[in-house]
């Protein structure tokens, strides 16, 4: 409940700059995709501006926070905000998991002649449903010639990401006990694990394209594989950037034992990314 000290900033130039920069990034991306190369510099400039503006925006927030302008109520606003933001991310991935489920449970069996809509097989007499789908129904689309084993790089990545959630928790506990050095060591370890994950994912993509014929164009298996692991990977990259920023703040001594919501928000985000990966490991790789 409001206690009369809720901080309302007077005005800020960052939001409008951020939206313009994001717009420039979209224009650049669209131009790149539709009309070709000229869009690339615009997109990159837009992206860099977005990152710069966000840095300046958060610098203001950090400054206000450290000047003691934020009360407990403001802290709750941030918590609600971050919580609902992560919920929106959950729904974003839910759409992709729904896609995977629909394709595997309904679309492919139907195309193969099973189930309520099996009459579709009239159009694809030679098609046999399987998952991973190596031979898509249409001749024009060629599937991957092999799929990645979950028990090699993906398993390693699972251990890395689960491990990083643990190291992050250790860092958080240390911070709560006021042991700043321990906290930043473990946090730095977490960042390293995040970087390892990204690197290994890159190697895996290279292998997929180079040796397995597993590409975006390789039918629905390739599509769902890259859609889900790709957006997850993007989130790991964002999460790692956030952790790096938090690491810098821990090292500068920005956080106290009981006031470090920025750290917690980053941790929430990281755990969310971890949980999504476990879902991916189960349904994209193993089953």
Partner 1 sequence: MRMRKRLVWTASGVALAGSAVARASGWNMPVGVTDLSQDIYGLHMTIFWICVVIGIVVFGAFFFSLFRYRRSRGAKPSRFHEHTTTEVLWTLVPLLILVVMAVPATATLKAMYDTSEADMEVMITGQQWRWRYEYRGEDVSFTSNLATPREQIDGQSAKGEHYLREVDEPLVLPVDRKVRLLMTSDDVIHSWWVPELGVKQDTMPGFVNENWVRINEPGTYRGQCAELCGRDHAFMPIVVEAVTPERFASWLDERRSAAAEAAMGLDREWGMDELMERGQEVYATSCASCHQPDGSGSPPAFPALAGNQALMDDRERHVETVVNGVAGSSMAAFRNILNPVDIAAVITYERNAWGSETGERVQPSAIAERLAD
Partner 2 sequence: MASHLPPKSTTQHEQPASAGMAAEPHAPPRGLKRWLLTTNHKEIGTLYLLLSLTMFFVGGLFAMVVRAELFQPGLQLIEPEFFNQMTTMHGLIMIFGAVMPAFVGLANWMVPLQVGAPDMALPRLNNFSFWLLPVAFTLLLSTFLMPGGAPNFGWTSYAPLSTTYAPPSTTFFILSLHLAGISSILGAINIIATILNLRAPGMRLMDMSLFVWTWLITAFLLIAVMPVLAGVITMMLMDINFGTSFFNAAGGGDPVMFQHLFWFFGHPEVYIMILPAFGIVSVIIPTFARKPLFGYASMVYATASIALLSFLVWAHHMFTVGLPLVAELFFMYSTMLIAVPTGVKVFNWVTTLFRGSITFEPPMLFALAFVVLFTIGGFSGLMLAIAPADFQYHDTYFVVAHFHYVLVPGAVFAIMAGVYYWLPKWTGHYPHPQLSRWHFWLSVIGANLTFFPMHFAGLAGMPRRIPDYALQFADFNMVTSLGAFLFGASQLLFVVVVVMCVRGGQQAPAKAWDGGVDLEWTVPSPAPLHTFETPPDFRPPQH
Cβ of residue 30: shortest distance to partner 2, in angstroms?
4
Cβ of residue 95: shortest distance to partner 1, in angstroms?
21
Identity of the residue, 93 or 255, whose beta carbon is nearer to partner 2 in the bound complex? 93
Q: Considering CB distances under 5 to 8 angstroms, the limit depending on partner class, which of partner 1, partner 2, none binds residue 248?
A: none
C-alpha dist (Å) from residue 211 to 139, 143, 146, 214, 223: 21, 13, 8, 8, 17
What is the CB neighbour count within 10 angstroms for residue 95? 9
Using only the alpha carbons of the chain, give its radius of gyration. Answer: 23
Per-residue mark of binding to partner 2, 17-36 (x: CB under 8 A):
-xxx-xx--xx-xx--xx--
92 sits near partner 2 (criterion: CB under 8 A): yes
Identity of the residue, 119 or 286, whose beta carbon is nearer to partner 1 in the bound complex? 119
What's the CA dihedral at 58, 60, 64, 70 to 10 degrees? -40
CA-angle at 228, arms to 223 and 234, nearest 5°:
120
Per-residue mark of binding to partner 2, 117-136 (x: CB under 8 A):
x--x--xx--------x--x
Q: Considering CB distances under 5 to 8 angstroms, the limit depending on partner class, which of partner 2, partner 1, none binds residue 122?
A: partner 1
CA distance 238 to 226: 17
**Window 200 to 219, contacts with partner 2 (CB under 8 A):** 216-217, 219
Residues 6+ positions from 266 with CB-CB distance below 8 Å: 239, 242, 243, 245, 246
Q: Considering CB distances under 5 to 8 angstroms, the limit depending on partner class, which of partner 2, partner 1, none binds residue 6?
A: partner 2
User: Which among 258, 254, 240, 90 has a CA at the least distance from the CA of 164?
Assistant: 240
CA distance 110 to 152: 32
**Window 221 to 280, contacts with partner 2 (CB under 8 A):** 221-224, 226-227
Cis, peptide link before residue 132, omega less than 30° from 0: yes
Which listed residue (37, 95, 126, 210) binds partner 2 by CB under 8 A? Answer: 95
CA 276, distance to chain mean position in Å, is 9
Q: Considering CB distances under 5 to 8 angstroms, the limit depending on partner class, which of partner 1, partner 2, none binds residue 89?
A: partner 2
Which listed residue (48, 51, 80, 286) binds partner 2 by CB under 8 A? Answer: 80
Identity of the residue, 91 or 210, whose beta carbon is nearer to partner 2 in the bound complex? 91
Only one of the segments 109-117, 155-163, 187-195, 240-248 lies at the binding site for partner 2 (rule: CB under 8 A); that segment is 109-117
Cβ of residue 163: shortest distance to partner 2, in angstroms?
28
CA distance 173 to 185: 12
**Window 43 to 72, contacts with partner 2 (CB under 8 A):** 57, 69
Would you say how long the chain is, in residues? Answer: 287
**Window 159 to 178, contacts with partner 2 (CB under 8 A):** none
């Amino acid at each position: 409940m409001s206690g009369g000290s809720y901080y309302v900033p007077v005005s800020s130039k960052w939001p409008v700059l951020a939206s313009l920069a994001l717009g420039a990034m979209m224009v650049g991306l669209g131009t790149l995709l539709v009309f070709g190369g000229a869009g690339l510099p615009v997109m990159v400039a837009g992206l860099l501006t977005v990152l710069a503006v966000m840095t300046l925006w958060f610098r203001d927030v950090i400054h206000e926070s450290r000047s003691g302008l934020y009360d407990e109520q403001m802290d709750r606003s941030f918590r609600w905000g971050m919580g609902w933001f992560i919920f929106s991310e959950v729904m974003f991935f839910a759409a992709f998991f729904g896609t995977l489920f629909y394709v595997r449970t309904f679309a492919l069996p139907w195309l193969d002649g099973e189930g309520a809509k099996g009459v579709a097989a009239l159009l694809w007499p030679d098609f046999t449903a399987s998952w991973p789908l190596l031979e898509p129904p249409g001749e024009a689309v060629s599937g991957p010639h092999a799929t990645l084993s979950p028990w090699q790089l993906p398993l390693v990545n699972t251990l890395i990401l689960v491990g990083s959630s643990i190291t992050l928790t250790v860092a958080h506990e240390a911070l709560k006990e006021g042991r700043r050095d321990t906290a930043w060591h473990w946090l730095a370890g977490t960042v390293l694990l995040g970087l390892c994950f990204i690197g290994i994912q890159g190697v895996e993509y290279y292998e997929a394209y180079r040796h397995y014929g597993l590409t975006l164009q390789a039918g629905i298996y390739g599509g769902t594989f890259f859609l889900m692991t790709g957006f997850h990977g993007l989130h790991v990259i964002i999460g790692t950037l956030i952790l790096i920023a938090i690491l810098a703040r821990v090292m500068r001594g920005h956080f106290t034992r009981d006031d470090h919501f920025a750290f917690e928000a980053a941790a929430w985000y990281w755990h969310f990314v971890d949980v999504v990966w476990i879902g991916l490991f189960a349904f994209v790789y193993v089953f």
